[in-house]
Amino acid sequence: MNIRAFSDLGNQALLRRLAEEIAHQNVSTATLLALIAEVDERLLYLPAGYPSMCAYCVHELHLSKEAALKRIHAARAAREFEGILDAVAEGRVHLSGVLMLAPHLTPENAADLLAAATHRTKAKIERLIAERFPRPDVPTRVAALTFGVGFMSEKRAEARAREEARKQAKVRAVDEGTRTGAAAEEAQTRAAAPVAKGATAPAPEPSTEPADERDVTPYLRKLGCNASDARRVAALCTNLPNASLEERVRFALKQLMPPHRWIAA
């Protein structure tokens, strides 16, 4: 069909034709509801191989699922209350209005409700239903709040606190390493310098770190040193009884480097 098929009509003629088509559509809709109601009543969709009337409308008549359900529900209401078909055919109640009124219709009030809904919009029919069938007030309830996915659980908060503490400890360790670098170089110089004749070396203060925690051998092995060199340099580190593990490792690495690569203190 050509979209310009009515372009030659005058304004009034065009409006009359539109009203006529709406009237024809209203009659067609009522007829369709009557046909669907009869097919549904006879269960004719079963011999056709479909499990429900909705499936028949979707796959055989090629309606959308939403359109099929709306028309099936309206057709079933129309079978129970005959005044619905007349109201739809005459254009007094639209299909959406029928679906809104259907749950509230009874043999006693059907005619009255259909008459009250005549030519009303969907919003006005909603107000009509609210006036005729008011809902009871919802009772006040007090319920405990529950934390959903959007709230941080206690375990997640603890994990975040531990992560923050670990970061701060790492920063403090870097700062402390920078401050002790000069002290380590000074300790190496004192250990390598010979003791003057007749002088007595100061008695070393006892270390507060366990001996096994200051053993540099595992660190040197990880850096690629062979076992004999690692043991030899580790033995030299015993001349630094007061040095920490970091100071011992720095001293050991200096002993393993050629003299021309030493960094002057």
Pairwise pLDDT comparison (252 vs 18), residue with the higher score: 18
Highest mean pLDDT among 113-122, 151-160, 203-212, 213-222: 113-122
Query: pLDDT digit string (tens) for 185-196?
Result: 555 555 555 544
Please state the pTM of the whole predicted model: 0.52
Cβ proximity of 93 and 118 under 8 Å: yes
Please check the confidence at residue 264 and state whether its pLDDT lies above 80: no
Please check the confidence at residue 223 and state whether its pLDDT lies above 80: no
Lowest mean pLDDT among 10-19, 80-89, 162-171, 206-215: 206-215
CA angle 26, 30, 34 (to 5 degrees): 165
- State the pLDDT at residue 183: 58
Confidence of residue 105 (pLDDT cuts 50, 70, 90): very high
Highest mean pLDDT among 160-174, 198-212, 247-261: 160-174
What percent of the chain has a predicted confidence (pLDDT) above 70? 71
Please check the confidence at residue 210 and state whether its pLDDT lies above 50: no
